[in-house]
């Protein structure tokens, strides 16, 4: 659990400036109609004041519907120098005009794009954030090595073939980014980096818990969790399933997620990959 008393209530001017570049990782965690966590890549995420954040919508997706039903969100921003901010915010309003609308649509990514631009700006009030923290790369690398050892020693186990070849390959690539999200006891989602994650069978993802260990131990065993993976070529996949807590695998303490749902957020068409849809014959032309 992210203790509310430990969260900073405002962004500094330095924080706000750090969020401005287009080239950064922005993640929004929302809660769907069933109370389950959902993670979305939103690179336009930034702050317009010490207590307010905003981001732009240019495509449809589950997160926009989720946030309109349930305003409680979690967020993560990671800059190119591997500094990150994590926190919680509450959705308040949207607009289709104004300073932030003009700002986003005048960035090179959208100003010179012939196919889409920002059509709606979303605003969120900051609840609190952890403050600027450097991604602990040495610990992440060590955890990745431990995860690969645990994967080899623990074996693949038995399970359904939930994760297809593309999904396993994307998650298993050591330098791809991976993030875990769950819904905290206060109803706000929390995002935790798990870059060390690896698949271990057809429905299982494991990760050594030696990095962000306190965050991982705060997740109740049996909780529903989501795992978002992205490559630097902007290939992405989102899993959801049951987080079984941490346990020893080959003598290495690891967290374990058993996936039962897979979603491809990539354009041109975002869609559920697992469970598979039943193919129906076309009878009308």
Statement: residue 180 has pLDDT above 50: yes
Does residue 234 share a domain with residue 213? yes
pLDDT at 266: 81
Does residue 173 share a domain with residue 124? no
Assign 100 a pLDDT band (cuts: 50, 70, 90).
Answer: confident
Look over the chain and give the mean of its residue pLDDT values, rounded to a whole number: 91
Our CA dihedral for 89, 94, 96, 98, rounded to 10 degrees, sits at: -60
Distance between CA atoms of residues 172 and 220, nearest Å: 25
- Quote the number of domains for the chain: 2
Kindly state whether residue 40 falls inside one of the protein's structural domains. yes
Does residue 140 share a domain with residue 129? no
Domain end, chosen from 133, 162, 187, is at 133
Assign 157 a pLDDT band (cuts: 50, 70, 90).
Answer: low
Kindly state whether residue 124 falls inside one of the protein's structural domains. yes
Distance between CA atoms of residues 205 and 198, nearest Å: 6
pLDDT at 285: 67
Assign 18 a pLDDT band (cuts: 50, 70, 90).
Answer: very high
Residue 51 φ/ψ, nearest 5 degrees? -125, 5
Domain end, chosen from 83, 99, 133, is at 133
Assign 114 a pLDDT band (cuts: 50, 70, 90).
Answer: very low
The model carries a pTM of 0.92
Statement: residue 28 has pLDDT above 50: yes
Bridge partner residues of 24 (DSSP): 79
Statement: residue 158 has pLDDT above 90: no
Domain end, chosen from 118, 133, 148, is at 133
Does residue 226 share a domain with residue 143? yes
Does residue 72 share a domain with residue 127? yes
Does residue 206 share a domain with residue 84? no
Does residue 146 share a domain with residue 266? yes
């Amino acid at each position: 659990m992210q203790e509310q008393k430990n969260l900073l209530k405002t962004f500094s001017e330095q924080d706000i400036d750090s969020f401005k570049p287009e080239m950064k990782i922005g993640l929004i965690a929302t809660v769907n109609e069933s109370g389950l966590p959902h993670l979305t890549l939103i690179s336009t995420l930034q702050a317009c004041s010490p207590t307010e954040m905003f981001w732009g919508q240019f495509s449809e997706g589950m997160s926009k519907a989720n946030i309109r039903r349930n305003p409680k969100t979690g967020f993560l921003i990671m800059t190119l120098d591997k500094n990150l901010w994590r926190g919680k915010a509450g959705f308040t309003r949207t607009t289709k005009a104004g300073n932030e609308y003009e700002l986003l649509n005048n960035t090179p990514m959208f100003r010179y794009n012939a196919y889409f631009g920002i059509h709606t700006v979303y605003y969120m009030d900051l609840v609190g954030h952890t403050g600027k923290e450097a991604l602990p790369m040495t610990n992440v690398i060590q955890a990745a090595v431990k995860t690969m050892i645990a994967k080899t020693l623990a074996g693949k186990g038995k399970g359904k073939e939930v994760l297809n070849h593309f999904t396993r390959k994307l998650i298993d690539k050591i330098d791809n980014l991976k993030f875990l999200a769950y819904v905290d006891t206060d109803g706000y989602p929390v995002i935790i980096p798990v870059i060390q994650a690896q698949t271990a069978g057809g429905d299982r993802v494991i990760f050594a818990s030696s990095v962000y260990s306190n965050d991982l131990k705060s997740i109740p065993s049996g909780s529903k969790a989501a795992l978002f993976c992205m490559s630097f070529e902007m290939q992405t996949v989102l899993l959801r399933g049951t987080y079984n807590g941490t346990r020893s695998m080959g003598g290495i303490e690891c967290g374990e997620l058993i996936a039962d749902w897979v979603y491809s957020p990539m354009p041109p068409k975002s869609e559920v990959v697992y469970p598979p849809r039943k193919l129906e014959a076309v009878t009308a032309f």
